[in-house]
A and B are shown apart, each in its own frame.
Chain A
């Protein structure tokens, strides 16, 4: 086995892993707080990606640099600013979603919430397609991706892009950990996740707390979309595929564990690239399949996922 090639493949897979991990993290935040799989997570992220695109290139068919940020003279890093704008938009839209669509259904069955997120998936997906067209759009890279812009490690190339994605993800994780563990709002969020009724009896405003959670998740999604928009090209369904992998990653790691989301993302990303490379009859086109089989295999052995809490029910 060619070790350099293996290392190269691992490095290549790590970029996807970062994307899957961040979207899986967003799913975990929502699942922990609201107990819901957010099927619209990917589309909300795509929309935020388009907002970044608009900030850079104008509302519809403009050229890169002619957007809002292009009008501001002397902005050194317009891409970074556009991403910040997208994240802010994402957080606002996440909060609004919770307030308008999720909170009124707090006593409704699980199915109702799922339906709402599926409805949002369709709505956002087709509205972006309607407005920006279904064709892919060029989105500038957040980190250098050109030839030679990489580290050489034992002859394999580790791109700055991959490192940048992981740095971003890790910084976000630290911020998230600080928010959850060291602030009052984070304490409230954890309390609501564990037992909503008890938290409310202790004077925590559960609805508002959940709104913060949705904002955080949507913000993470916006980051994921902005990071991957350069690689997969910005188009209305770009995050739908990513979402399937993120679901797999979150399930694999345990739906309620942020650590699990991170590890799950890495495992799914690696198996998506490595298994087709070394198992002869699985083509790269079918990279989806092994990743999902890994998920099913883990479910068979550990239903709660690698780091998830086992559900114990009192009758």
Chain B
């Protein structure tokens, strides 16, 4: 499989189809999550999404601006406490709290960032690590009325319940036993979606490009007229505001805030999520948040009997595993999940970019592998292997073991990728046979691939609706 199975022009119908498919998958997962998962699992999902916003904040500095920041646990804590105080002590609304929380985060970010960002190097890391170290003690002090606001060592409970208004009762999962968690899930999903959209636009805008230019070549950026301290500081301010926004979402989700939730270890979790998701990519932040939460959940269930000694993940060992994973990813997959995903998709599909005049830079026909191509056979194999693996996965689900469970999970979900690829490649090859680019013998495998691929897709769609109708 040296050449990818599918080669499409950017903006062509087939390219559009793959994009639409990705969007549909995304929507499907978002809709099914609150319907299928248990309430506590929805809670974990919420937490994962909240963490992804904080990781996105770290990413803006580390991934897009090339500076090291380790203090976002403090920003997140700040946002959480400001929210809790505004709502509990001042009777504000969550929606109204967003603006002051963002402003506070941005300003504190400017104040913290300004001294450290004037100079190149690791100073930002040092200042932020100091901030992360101070924060949990800072909220406990009596002076300046801080402890009264934050609840001190006892933490602060927010008594306002977040309940779905009647006109939103139709949201999946809200009208049922999962009500509260599912409604918070929907609020958080919307907030994450809007945030991702805004940050994507920021990254693509003029300031965003300046920030990336600083990362890639600081001196070069300066020569092109980028005001280094200003862009770095403002970028850090935005990043800090994302941290406080994550804090607000944390309060919204948990209704309880305590200083010891925002220690340096949380800041380390952000770095782990960032690296494992993929530094410098927006999807990476999302994946990183999901990874941090769910991997913690999984490591808790690990237990390895060593004869005389039982290694249990429900203790300090979880962090050891995280540390090990961080080191292993740094060595073997420095781009994280996103780069691994790109590696796989580069085997499956290549999107040929267009020149400004609208033609592909290389003609798609020129990249056709010719009569000897065995794409049809490969597609047929995929179309057969997909369902078989899925059935194996289904059977393995009944085995009561953590590791088998993970494998079964992966085996069941590969169909989501294999079926559409088989379908599209099969159809393409049928066209190629008709155009005389392939021998007639390729027609059979191509037909099978297309048919089985279509069946797989139909199965996916049916499964979605079955799950949806059963649970809605």
Q: Does B317 contact A (CB under 8 A)?
A: yes
> How many angstroms from the CA of A86 to the CA of B47 in the assembled complex?
42
The verdict on A114 contacting chain B, using a C-beta distance below 8 Å, is yes
Given contacts A114-B68, A115-B326, A126-B323, contact A282 B279 (CB under 8 A): no
Judged by a CB distance under 8 angstroms, whether A283 is at the interface is: yes
Task: Check: A50 CB closer than 8 A to any chain B CB.
Answer: no
| CB contact between A129 and one of B140, B141, B143, B316 (< 8 Å): that residue | B316
Query: In the complex, what residues of B have CB within 8 A of residue A288's CB?
Result: 130, 133-134, 137
Size of interface on A: residues with Cβ below 8 Å to B? 49
Indicate if A16 sits at the interface (CB-CB under 8 A).
no
Interface residue A201 (Cβ < 8 Å from any Cβ of B):
no
Count contacts between A and B, CB distance < 8 Å: 135
Q: How far is the CB of B285 from chain A (nearest CB, A)?
A: 15
**Is A274 close to B, CB under 8 A?**
no
Let me know if A111 and B319 touch, CB within 8 A. no
User: Is A120's beta carbon under 8 Å from chain B?
Assistant: yes
Complex: A251 Cα to B121 Cα, angstroms: 11
Given contacts A111-B68, A116-B330, contact A126 B316 (CB under 8 A): yes
Interface of B: prevailing SS: helix
8 Å CB interface, B153-191 against A: none
Find B123's partner among A122, A124, A281, A303 (CB 8 Å cutoff): A303
Contact of A104 among B133, B144, B331 (CB under 8 A): B331
Does residue B305 face the partner (Cβ distance < 8 Å to A)? no
- Closest residue of chain B to A313, judged by CB? B219
Contact of A122 among B122, B275, B311, B322 (CB under 8 A): B322
- The interface residues of chain A lying within 8 Å CB-to-CB of B137 are 285-286, 288
Q: Return chain A residues, CB-CB under 8 Å to B118.
A: 303
Residues of A within 8 A of B329 (CB): 115
Q: Which residues of the other chain, A, contact B141 by a CB distance below 8 angstroms?
A: 283, 285-286
- Judge whether B119 is part of the interface by a CB distance below 8 angstroms: yes
What A residues does B330 contact at CB under 8 A?
105, 108, 112, 115-116, 119
A249-266 CB contacts (< 8 Å) to partner B: 251, 255
Within the complex, what minimum Cβ distance (angstroms) separates A33 from chain B? 15
Mask, A72-110, CB within 8 Å of B = 1, is 000000000000000000000000000001001100101
Contact residues in A for B272 (Cβ distance below 8 Å): 118
B397 close to A (CB within 8 Å):
no
Q: Are B326 and A111 in contact (CB under 8 A)?
A: no
B122 to chain A, nearest CB (A): 5
Q: Known: A120-B327, A126-B320, A283-B143. Contact between A240 and B264, CB under 8 A?
A: yes
Distance, CA A247 to CA B138, complexed state (A): 19
Q: Is the CB of A282 within 8 A of B319?
A: no
Q: Report yes or no: A303 in contact with B130, Cβ–Cβ below 8 A.
A: no
- B350 to chain A minimum Cβ distance, whole angstroms, is 27
Tell me if A112 and B334 are in contact (CB < 8 A). Answer: yes
A244, B115: Cβ atoms under 8 Å? no
With both chains docked as a complex, state the minimum distance between the C-beta of A154 and any C-beta of chain B, in angstroms.
Answer: 32
Q: Specify which of B116, B119, B130, B327 is in contact with A247 (CB 8 Å cutoff).
A: B130
Can you spell out 22 A-B residue pairs with CB atoms less than 8 angstroms apart?
Answer: A105-B331, A112-B330, A114-B68, A115-B327, A122-B319, A122-B326, A124-B323, A126-B323, A130-B311, A241-B133, A247-B129, A251-B123, A283-B143, A285-B137, A286-B138, A288-B130, A288-B137, A295-B127, A296-B116, A299-B127, A300-B115, A311-B119
A residues sitting closer than 8 Å to B (CB atoms) are 37, 101, 104-105, 108, 110-112, 114-116, 118-127, 129-130, 134, 236, 240-241, 244, 247-248, 251, 255, 281-283, 285-286, 288-289, 292, 295-296, 299-300, 303-304, 311, 313, 315
List 18 other contacts, CB 8 Å, given A118-B268, A285-B137: A37-B125, A120-B323, A121-B323, A123-B323, A125-B316, A125-B319, A127-B316, A129-B315, A130-B317, A130-B320, A244-B133, A247-B130, A285-B141, A286-B137, A289-B138, A295-B126, A295-B130, A299-B127
